[in-house]
């Protein structure tokens, strides 16, 4: 009971911070907490290595969780240490039922997030005007900071063999690598979550496509 109360308090405080700062990283945390408590509404599309859709799943209350396996290692003094490593298996809970998935390309799209079906091949050619912000050392620091608050980007998703599948874009895009999910990248696109599991992808600043 205390754990539930603590989680609810964290949810409320995170929500207040998110509203006051507009931080996409905090929006992502709220999404994680809501998913763990009651689940979020997603469409789950599964693809083969060539990018052909093989299964489509949807539900009102969906959550994704990782699975750990026990392993052992030996220290220099001969003693044994037990470790718990993240396996390649993910568990998808859909309205109280489960799907265990391993190896497939899965894209989890939260309700309200629409793909850019007309996205075609782009040629990117960029030139600097000599400003300090274009310096790679400065740009790396600034871009990491901007990512926390979200920035205008296009996400192009491809199969494991490089075949284009779909693309998404938004004015407020944030990404992170969850430490509790194997081979998974999470994005927040204009307040909606997108999980990419076992797929090739690129996240491109929109300014490079103009």
Residue-wise pLDDT tens digits, 73-95? 888 888 888 888 899 999 999 99
* Choice among 102-111, 140-149, 183-192 with the minimum mean pLDDT: 140-149
Asked whether 56 and 104 are in contact (CB, 8 A), the reply is: no
Structure tokens at 78: 């001969």
pLDDT tens-place string over residues 15-26: 444 444 457 777
Residue 187 clears pLDDT 80, i.e. is over it = yes
pLDDT the model gives residue 121: 56
Structure tokens at 127: 């030139």
pTM given for the model: 0.72
Residue 110 clears pLDDT 70, i.e. is over it = yes
Every domain of the chain and the residues it spans:
2-209
Residues 35-46: what's their mean pLDDT?
Answer: 82
Neighbouring C-beta atoms of residue 44, cutoff 10 Å: 21
Residue 100 CB contacts under 8 Å (≥ 6 apart), including other chains: 89, 90, 91, 92
Residue 143 clears pLDDT 60, i.e. is over it = no
If we measure between CA atoms, which residue out of 64, 48, 45 comes closest to residue 56? 45
pLDDT tens-place string over residues 144-163: 545 555 688 899 999 999 99
Residues 89-105: what's their mean pLDDT?
Answer: 94
- Work out the mean pLDDT of the chain and round it to a whole number: 79
Residue 47 CB contacts under 8 Å (≥ 6 apart), including other chains: 53, 54, 104, 105, 106, 107, 159, 165, 199
Kindly write down the DSSP assignment for every residue of 45-76, as one continuous string: EEE-TTS-EEEEEEEEEEEEEEEEEEEEEE-T
b/e per residue 2-29 (b: at least 16 CB within 10 A): eeeeeeeeebeebbeebeeeebbbbbbb
């Amino acid at each position: 009971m205390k754990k539930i109360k603590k989680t609810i308090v964290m949810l409320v405080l995170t929500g207040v911070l998110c509203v006051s700062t507009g931080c996409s990283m905090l929006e992502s945390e709220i999404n994680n907490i809501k998913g763990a408590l009651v689940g979020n509404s997603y469409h789950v599309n599964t693809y083969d290595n060539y990018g052909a859709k093989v299964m489509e799943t949807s539900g009102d209350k969906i959550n994704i969780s990782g699975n750990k396996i026990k392993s052992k290692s030996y220290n220099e003094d001969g003693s044994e240490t037990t470790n718990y490593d993240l396996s390649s298996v993910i568990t998808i809970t859909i309205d109280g039922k489960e799907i265990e998935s391993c190896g497939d390309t899965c894209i989890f799209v939260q309700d309200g997030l629409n793909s850019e079906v007309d996205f075609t091949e782009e040629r990117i050619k960029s030139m600097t005007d000599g400003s300090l912000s274009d310096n790679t050392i400065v740009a790396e620091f600034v871009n990491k900071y901007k990512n926390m608050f979200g920035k205008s980007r296009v996400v192009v998703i491809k199969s494991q063999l490089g075949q284009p599948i779909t693309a998404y874009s938004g004015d407020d895009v944030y990404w992170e690598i969850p430490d509790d999910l194997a081979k998974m990248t999470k994005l927040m696109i204009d307040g909606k979550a997108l999980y990419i599991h076992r797929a090739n992808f690129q996240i491109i600043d929109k300014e490079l496509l103009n």
